Amino acid sequence: MTPRLRAYMLSMAAPAGLAAILLMRLTAPVPGDPVLMVVLVALGAAAANFPVMVSPRYKTDASPAIDLALVILFPPAAAVALVGLTRILGDGLLCLRRNLATGTRRRAPIDLVFNTSQLMIAAACAAIIYRGLTSPGVLGSGLAAELAGAALAAVALYVVSTSAVVIAVGRLVARSPFEIWAEAAGIELKQTAAIYTAGYLLAVVSNGRPWLALVMMGPVAGLQLALNRSAQMRAQTVAAVESMADVVDRRDPYTYQHSQNVAEYAVRTARRLHLPDRDVELIRLAGRVHDLGKIAVPDAVLHKQGRLTEEEFALMKKHPADGAEILAKFPEYRRGRELVLDHHERIDGRGYPRGLSGSQIPLGARILAVADAWDAMTSNRPYRTALDQDVALGELVRGRGTQWDAEVVDAFAATLPGAAELEPERHTGVAAPLLRSLGAVAGILTS
């Protein structure tokens, strides 16, 4: 963590404290139900300790439902204080707990300060909006005004809290906060809407009846479990499909771990091109299973030493479509299957199976094509030994702009060891050592 990021996270405490003090001075103290306060704070702290991983980078839990209920049920100053107390207790427990695998704390003290502060600021904004909109003469009285106030308060909670977080993440990974925010919202929007809806119902049901808050936590916990089960099923499905792809690789000892290598090269290239994390993960998933369709290729063709006949090559060219057809049965690969289908297309339109060209080929497929070719050239095969890096790079340079996307080739080359030395040569023409070795690699990429 950089000093600037640490300073940013700690600086959130000042506006949080100022908001709490101002609300205490500007709003008249209204007594609340102490039993309901205790129940909701305890439930919120517990919920914070059971997050659900909705993607490789994003987690969520049911605590926003409690935060919204507190905003609706209690005066602004009390709501902000209770939201802060909930997070202190929840993250405080996480600070004491340790990851069984690594032995590290599940939450650092600075995270506790930051999370508590940004949620207090978000709660202050939400409480002001809710009390302002539900005041007499603003939106009127009745259910419509109540729902509008609660909806806008939920939006304020979500936008303010996530904005503070994505700014911190943006500083950490050197990416645009707007890009990160859009990516996170796209992943968790449905879950978040469901959680805030549950929070509103929790406030309505438990108002004046604290014991019903415990009953209402049943559906909230059910929602949490459903999210958890959905994430687990997705992870299990991906693991199963990747295991199938690994079985295909193991059919040929020369291609063992080929899919893992392609995925790794593709991820490096995608990050070099500054693609969003969501697209990088999509490319990784497709890279891990890009040759799944070879499960339908006969061993006599797959293991043949030497050039394939036209009939054999026609069988081999079916594997992208066969792989995409298999992946079509899994929602997790709804978008990634197109990358699998097109990873043997060429920029000049001479690829297969659809004969796409240029920008018609998805960028992810163009990245996979380069990664796939590189691993094929730098690995031992039945018909030749692995090529040296400069020879393989020479082939990529030769096909730059015709077989492979020029920008992708440049980005991939920049990820290789010694890229700083190769960079000037790549932009001033093919380097002399590469020219001398091009003849050794002609016609090797038949599959």
Here the CATH number for the domain that contains residue 41 is 1.10.1760.20
> What pLDDT, on the 0 to 100 scale, is given for residue 367?
96
Q: Which of 178, 209, 234 is the last residue of a domain?
A: 234
- Same domain? For 305 and 435 the reply is yes
**pTM exceeds 0.75, yes or no:** no
- 120/181: higher pLDDT: 120
- Which pLDDT tens digit goes with each residue over 58-68? 566 778 889 99
Q: Give mean pLDDT, residues 195-205.
A: 86
- Same domain? For 197 and 103 the reply is yes
Residue 176 lies in a domain: yes
Considering 173-187, 248-262, 332-346, 429-443, the range whose residues carry the highest mean pLDDT is: 332-346
Q: Which residue has the tokens 């309505």?
A: 204
Q: Which of 208, 234, 260 is the last residue of a domain?
A: 234
Residue 244 lies in a domain: no
Residue 240 lies in a domain: no
Q: Count CA atoms within 13 Å of residue 396 on its CB side.
A: 32
- Same domain? For 216 and 354 the reply is no
The secondary structure element, H or E, covering residue 110 is: helix 109-133
- Same domain? For 88 and 184 the reply is yes
Residue 11 lies in a domain: yes
Residue 217 has pLDDT above 70, yes or no: no
- Same domain? For 285 and 359 the reply is yes
> What pLDDT, on the 0 to 100 scale, is given for residue 245?
85
Q: Give mean pLDDT, residues 114-124.
A: 89
Q: How many domains does the chain have?
A: 2
- Same domain? For 210 and 93 the reply is yes
- Which pLDDT tens digit goes with each residue over 64-102? 889 999 999 898 888 888 999 999 998 888 888 777 666
Backbone φ and ψ for 381, nearest 5 degrees, come out as: -130, 165
- Same domain? For 187 and 323 the reply is no
- Same domain? For 258 and 336 the reply is yes
Residue 241 lies in a domain: no
- Same domain? For 269 and 182 the reply is no
- Helix locations, 257-401, DSSP H: 258-272, 277-288, 299-302, 310-316, 319-327, 336-341, 363-377, 389-398
Look up the CATH number of the domain holding residue 280.
1.10.3210.10
> Which of 260, 191, 176, 221 lies closest to 53 in space, CA to CA?
191
- Same domain? For 36 and 110 the reply is yes
Residue 239 lies in a domain: no
For residues 180 and 170, give the distance between their C-alpha atoms in angstroms, rounded to a whole number: 7
The secondary structure element, H or E, covering residue 26 is: helix 13-26
Residue 42 lies in a domain: yes
Domain that holds residue 138: 3-234
- Same domain? For 205 and 312 the reply is no
- Same domain? For 56 and 97 the reply is yes
Residue 322 lies in a domain: yes
